[in-house]
Amino acid sequence: MSQAGGGSAAPRRAPWRRSDYFDLGVIGVTHGLSDGFNNMLVPVLALIVADFRLSPVEAGALLSAFSLSVLLFQYPVSLLADATGRKKTILLAGMGLSAAAFVGMGWTGSFASLLALAFAAGAGNTVYHPCGTALTAERFASSRAFAISYQSLGGNIGTGIMPVGLAALAAAAGWRASIAAFALPALVLLPLVGARFADRPRPRRPAGGGEGRGESSWERTRRVLRNRGVVLLAATYTLRGMGTKGMIGFLPLLGAQMAGMSTPAIGLAVSLYFGMGAVTKPVMGFLYDRFGARSALFIPLAVTGALGLAMPLAPWEPALILLAALSGLVSFVSPIVLTATADFCDEDVLASSVGVIYACDGLAFVAPLIGGWLAGRFGLGASYAFFGLAVWAGAAVSTLLPRGRT
């Protein structure tokens, strides 16, 4: 809002204090931990497979258990956070559950209990994106764009660093100790979030409120699903996720079986994949500003699909590491998807629209299952053919989006 007497000058913002930078650092590192949790099992998957003597289908089911819980809980958590205003409480409870589930994996002795813990870890970890982003926006209302960008960068740093650390510690102390050790930072971060951020409980609305004020969750969801642009973005992002999550999820098996890669080398490949995503996210925003959603999504996804098809053809370690890094360079299109969502939908359903897109992305849980079945029947090459074609299908859907920015 403009200030009286300010003329054409921009409103002056209060200078940032040390406490502001500290709070932004806390929420950014928490985002990094949450995004690291999303891929906690990937760098050590080959060790888990050897420990439990899993088939390719069972390995895929383990990865899918985490993604399935995201599909089931992502959107309800978003609605609950908006309805109650207790975003901090929901974030603390969810990430606490996720950390406890990962620590519990260190003592599990059966594949069934490992599956259950993976499902619980995924369910708990769904809270960060709806709650952490909203907490950041509320806490730093006068510098919202900078703050959200900074905490988003924290997520990429977490996904870039944690795989290397996980793989290195797993090589020295085993996968159980490695997973537990990288879940324990939650013991420090979550109390800090609890101390530095605040809930904003919403008052209960009386029945028969004013027009537009008492819109139900179902009515809001219907509005979102009637928006063709949002539906196409959700389909594009889901197909992209089915391909890329399978490509990176099965990379440990592909590297170990076909390129003879060690666990640290696999961790390096996974970290390069996510690290390149951190580097190129600003570029994705530029592509959207320059070309609009259709071209900005089609080109990176077309290249990503081709790289996925090429991965099983790489006969030696450096080539596979290079392909993983190049995939990270082009596959992280979330800035395009989220910015286009803001352009395509009404402001009062933006949070719900983003929640629908992330919930649909949870459908990617089927990719490891299908990939595991294909690997068991036809080999890993067939799995990667499916992953590459899934990304290409997402690229094809993106061509149905409007040209330019709407």
The answer to whether position 310 is within a domain reads yes
Q: How far apart are CA 280 and CA 98, in angstroms?
A: 29
Are 176 and 38 found together in one domain?
A: yes
The answer to whether position 210 is within a domain reads no
- Among all chains, which residue has been given the structure tokens 């080959």? 46
For residue 210, the model assigns a pLDDT of 47
Among 11-20, 323-332, 338-347, top mean pLDDT goes to 323-332
Q: Looking at the predicted structure, is the pLDDT value of residue 72 above 80?
A: yes
For residue 26, the model assigns a pLDDT of 93
Instruction: Let me know: does 23 contact 197? Beta carbons within 8 Å.
Output: yes
Last residue of a domain, one of 142, 165, 199: 199
Measured from the Cβ of residue 210, the count of other Cβ atoms closer than 10 Å reads 7
Instruction: Let me know: does 362 contact 261? Beta carbons within 8 Å.
Output: no
For residue 10, the model assigns a pLDDT of 40
Reading the block at residue 116, the tokens are 């259950």
Are 66 and 111 found together in one domain?
A: yes
Q: How far apart are CA 406 and CA 404, in angstroms?
A: 6
Q: Looking at the predicted structure, is the pLDDT value of residue 297 above 80?
A: yes
For residue 278, the model assigns a pLDDT of 75
Are 350 and 269 found together in one domain?
A: yes
| H helical segments located in 126-262 | 133-139, 144-173, 175-183, 186-196, 217-225, 228-249, 251-258
Q: Looking at the predicted structure, is the pLDDT value of residue 145 above 80?
A: no
List residues bridging with 404 in a β-sheet. 292
User: Which of 115-124, 204-213, 231-240 is the least confident region?
Assistant: 204-213
Are 259 and 304 found together in one domain?
A: yes
Q: Looking at the predicted structure, is the pLDDT value of residue 253 above 70?
A: yes
User: Which of 105-119, 152-166, 334-348, 386-400 is the least confident region?
Assistant: 334-348
Full residue range of the structural domain in which residue 282 is found:
220-406
The answer to whether position 153 is within a domain reads yes
For residue 212, the model assigns a pLDDT of 43
Give, as one character, the DSSP assignment of residue 128: I
Are 38 and 134 found together in one domain?
A: yes
Assign 1 a pLDDT band (cuts: 50, 70, 90). Answer: very low
Are 251 and 161 found together in one domain?
A: no
The answer to whether position 11 is within a domain reads no
Q: Tell me what the pLDDT averaged over the chain comes to.
A: 84
For residue 3, the model assigns a pLDDT of 40
Q: How far apart are CA 270 and CA 121, in angstroms?
A: 20
- Among all chains, which residue has been given the structure tokens 């696999």? 266
Domain count within the chain: 2
List residues bridging with 292 in a β-sheet. 404
The answer to whether position 208 is within a domain reads no
* Mean pLDDT computed over 230-248: 93
Q: Looking at the predicted structure, is the pLDDT value of residue 235 above 70?
A: yes
* Tens-place pLDDT, residues 12-62: 556 778 888 899 999 989 999 998 998 888 889 889 999 999 988 898 889
Q: Looking at the predicted structure, is the pLDDT value of residue 188 above 80?
A: yes
Last residue of a domain, one of 199, 228, 256: 199
Report the percent of the chain where pLDDT is more than 90: 37
* Mean pLDDT computed over 358-362: 81
Measured from the Cβ of residue 128, the count of other Cβ atoms closer than 10 Å reads 26
Are 195 and 230 found together in one domain?
A: no
For residue 190, the model assigns a pLDDT of 96
Q: Looking at the predicted structure, is the pLDDT value of residue 279 above 70?
A: yes
The answer to whether position 207 is within a domain reads no
Torsion of Cα atoms, 381 then 236 then 81 then 67, to 10°: -10
The answer to whether position 374 is within a domain reads yes
Q: pTM for this structure? A: 0.70
- Name which residue leads in pLDDT, 387 or 283: 387
Are 94 and 237 found together in one domain?
A: no
The Cβ-side half-sphere exposure at 155, using a 13 Å CA radius, reads: 20
**Integer CA distances (angstroms), 333 to 24, 48, 64, 71, 131, in order:** 24, 30, 22, 19, 21
Buried b (16+ CB within 10 A) or exposed e, 228-257: ebbbbbbbbbbbbbbbbbbbbbbbbbbbbb
Are 230 and 182 found together in one domain?
A: no
- Name which residue leads in pLDDT, 259 or 204: 259
Are 191 and 238 found together in one domain?
A: no
Among 67-76, 148-157, 370-379, top mean pLDDT goes to 370-379
Instruction: Let me know: does 263 contact 167? Beta carbons within 8 Å.
Output: yes
CATH number of domain containing 392: 1.20.1250.20
* Mean pLDDT computed over 359-378: 86
User: Which of 22-31, 158-167, 340-349 is the least confident region?
Assistant: 340-349
Are 268 and 398 found together in one domain?
A: yes
Q: How far apart are CA 314 and CA 318, in angstroms?
A: 9
Instruction: Let me know: does 202 contact 85? Beta carbons within 8 Å.
Output: yes
Last residue of a domain, one of 168, 199, 230: 199
Are 256 and 170 found together in one domain?
A: no
The answer to whether position 8 is within a domain reads no
Q: How far apart are CA 364 and CA 372, in angstroms?
A: 13
Report the percent of the chain where pLDDT is more than 70: 89
- Name which residue leads in pLDDT, 153 or 106: 106
Q: What angle do CA 351, 129, 292 make, to 5 degrees?
A: 60
